[in-house]
Chains A and B, each alone.
Chain A
């Protein structure tokens, strides 16, 4: 980039494209000329008709017709030229794409070479797995020891913290049994016992 013109070479393809485009421009100019001519012939025909000179008017119209046929032919040629030009331009783009792909492939291969092949990667992955397993073992051992020593203490601390957070001391558990309830319970137990006996006798 920059001012270095040597990188911006005009290739033979560019020149060929320019030639084609110049040809196209010439056809355009030719068409312009023909259009002017047809317009003039038409004007002449009108003039002759106004003068009552029918044969001349016819002649002018015939010329006009002929020129219009030329115009149609140049249109077809123009189309051909434009098709060819765009094909060439597209082929150039394709060339660039292929070149780009080639570059990319080269780079990819280079990187693969640097990685040292599949075997190397496999070996490396094995080693990594070993290392991870070893690390796991070590941390298991360390982790276990810590929990054995301190687990109880940790739990105690947690309880203390919880009590602190709630702030309210727990009410004392009543030590005297309530007499009325005790009797009710005893009666219930008796009834259940009788029911069971009856079921047993029926069976």
Chain B
């Protein structure tokens, strides 16, 4: 599953933006406005990349050697510190969230849990599965959801999204640990 480490580079046809091929993009900009622009560009890039590769959790240590932070053609890479800065910036935007205080792994909200909840609810609505019982495994792993963006979703994130629906009274999660199911209303 694509959770912590970005998958190998060959699997998708993700096209990097123009800035990615511009060496200064990888070094911290000193001028405040430039730095801000750099941060927003990185934020957009990280989200687009995560969406294309279905990365839900980004591990910085692993990602630093991946193509996202390391442009092999330019021999340029983002330092750990700068990468953390970028993710801090995304956290302030509400587009990322650190997991743990060590700031090594972060959720990348290319869709926020709220948006995920809406996507799942929409899918259930469209497929007429209200009032029927679905397993959590079925939601993310079965053939029925292959065309959906939440296919292969991180189980923890799924729980978060479902808990939002539960709070709104649109779903009910039940069953034992590891064998949970959900009923939509």
Interface residues of A (CB under 8 A from B): 1-5, 8, 10, 14-15, 17-18, 21-22, 25, 28-29, 89
Contact = CB atoms under 8 A, between A and B. Distances in A.
Given A14-B133, A22-B135, A22-B175, A8 B181 contact: no
Give the interface SS of chain A, mostly helix, strand, loop or mixed: helix
B169 A4 contact: yes
B174 A3 contact: no
20 contacts: A1-B169, A2-B169, A3-B169, A5-B166, A8-B169, A8-B183, A10-B172, A10-B174, A15-B174, A17-B181, A18-B133, A22-B175, A22-B179, A22-B181, A25-B135, A25-B137, A25-B142, A28-B137, A28-B141, A28-B142
Interface residues of B, number: 19
A17 B133 contact: yes
Given A10-B183, A21-B133, A5 B175 contact: no
Contacts of A22: 135, 137, 175, 179, 181
A8 B135 contact: no
Q: Which of the listed residues A4, A10, A18 has the most CB atoms from chain B within 10 Å of its own CB? A: A18
A14 B179 contact: no
B18 interface: no
Contacts of A18: 133, 135, 174-175, 179, 181
A36 B175 CA distance: 29
Given A5-B166, A10-B174, A22-B181, 19 more contacts: A1-B169, A3-B168, A5-B169, A5-B172, A8-B185, A10-B172, A14-B133, A14-B174, A14-B183, A15-B174, A17-B133, A18-B135, A21-B134, A21-B135, A22-B179, A25-B137, A25-B138, A25-B142, A28-B142
Q: Which of the listed residues A3, A4, A8, A15 has the most CB atoms from chain B within 10 Å of its own CB? A: A8
A86 B142 CA distance: 17
Given A2-B169, A21-B181, A89 B132 contact: yes
A86 to B, nearest CB: 10
A4 B133 CA distance: 19
A15 B141 CA distance: 21
Nearest to B134: A21
